[in-house]
Amino acid sequence: MTGSAAPRRAGVLGHPIGHSLSPTLHRAAYAALGIDWEYDAYDVDSGGLGAFIEGLDGSWAGLSLTMPLKVEAVPLMDFVEPMAKLVGGCNTVLLQNVGGARHLVGANTDVWGIQAAFREAGVTAASSGLILGGGATATSAMAALGSLGVTAPYVAVRSRGRAGGLLRAATRMGVAPRFVTFEEVPALAAHVDVAVSTVPAAAGAEIASTLVSVSEGAALLDAVYEPLVTPLGARWAALGGVRIGGERMLLHQAGEQIRLMTGREAPLAAMDDAMTRVLHI
């Protein structure tokens, strides 16, 4: 809305939330689009999403969700879009007015963000892939790699018992993940076309210390963006691979949220500029 109309509202929810770049990206988009919207960060821990949504008035257009709320959101929705249903998690909630009543739509833009980050790096197809981690972001990575052609990715987890959501999603996708240990990662890195790391920077650093080779030109998307260049990303690039920073995934998933919430194409260049300034790239 513009002029004297009341501003629409949106925000990012999660715990912890202080580090989130979502306000920077969304506010930059609103400014570039010339719309009078507000966007803030809200610390909401597990179990608190339902009450938060209940307290929202009609000015709210949407929510961005980060951990630990993505899975919790699914049963709260009136409708869950196919991709969110497939991966079993929503990182986006659209608050729509249907016949005078609020209607909650759950969506997932993480998959889009990963796909777009790979496309931006020139990766449009792959036959083999490796995913580090087994949580919600890893599940989105599995869907994204599936769209590139990887139907049996290696998935490195410390405990298969904590990867139940990923395994259930794999069954829905028709994907057959091959679970491996972190100790097996160095050998696999020498043969895969693409990789996605969803583990913290410290865990990635442990893996980096054991890497001796990667497939030439193989692309690694490291979902971490603090630090901007992780030890794993730096080691991967030093061995001849292509490093894709987590901020690229973040930019593109936020851009898709902008499109869904506002109905307008996201001004990615303006959002990228704002993110670059904050991250001192």
What is each CA distance from 248 to 66, 71, 81, 145, 232, in whole angstroms? 16, 23, 23, 16, 16
State yes or no: is 70 an active-site residue: yes
| Strand 178-180 with 129-132, pairing | unpaired
CA angle 56, 62, 65 (to 5 degrees): 100
pLDDT of residue 3: 45
**What is the spatial distance between Cα 4 and Cα 171, in angstroms, rounded to a whole number?**
50
pTM (two decimals): 0.94
Task: Provide the Cα torsion 27, 33, 38, 44; round to 10°.
Answer: -60
* The predicted structure's pLDDT at residue 4: 47
What distance in Å separates the CA atoms of residue 101 and residue 103, rounded to the nearest whole number?
Answer: 6
For residue 2, the model assigns a pLDDT of: 43
Q: What is the pLDDT along the chain (281 residues), one digit of tens a residue?
A: 344 466 899 999 999 999 899 999 999 999 999 999 999 999 999 999 999 999 999 999 999 999 999 999 999 999 999 999 999 999 999 999 988 899 999 999 999 999 999 999 999 999 999 999 999 999 999 999 999 999 999 999 998 888 899 999 999 999 999 999 999 999 999 999 999 999 999 999 999 999 999 999 999 999 998 899 999 999 999 999 999 999 999 999 999 999 999 999 999 999 999 999 999 87
How far is Cα 16 from Cα 236, in angstroms, rounded to an integer?
A: 29
Residue 158 has φ and ψ, to the nearest 5°, of -80, -30
CB–CB of 148/129 below 8 Å?
yes
Active-site option among 8, 70, 243, 252 = 70
User: Given this model, what pLDDT does residue 5 score?
Assistant: 61
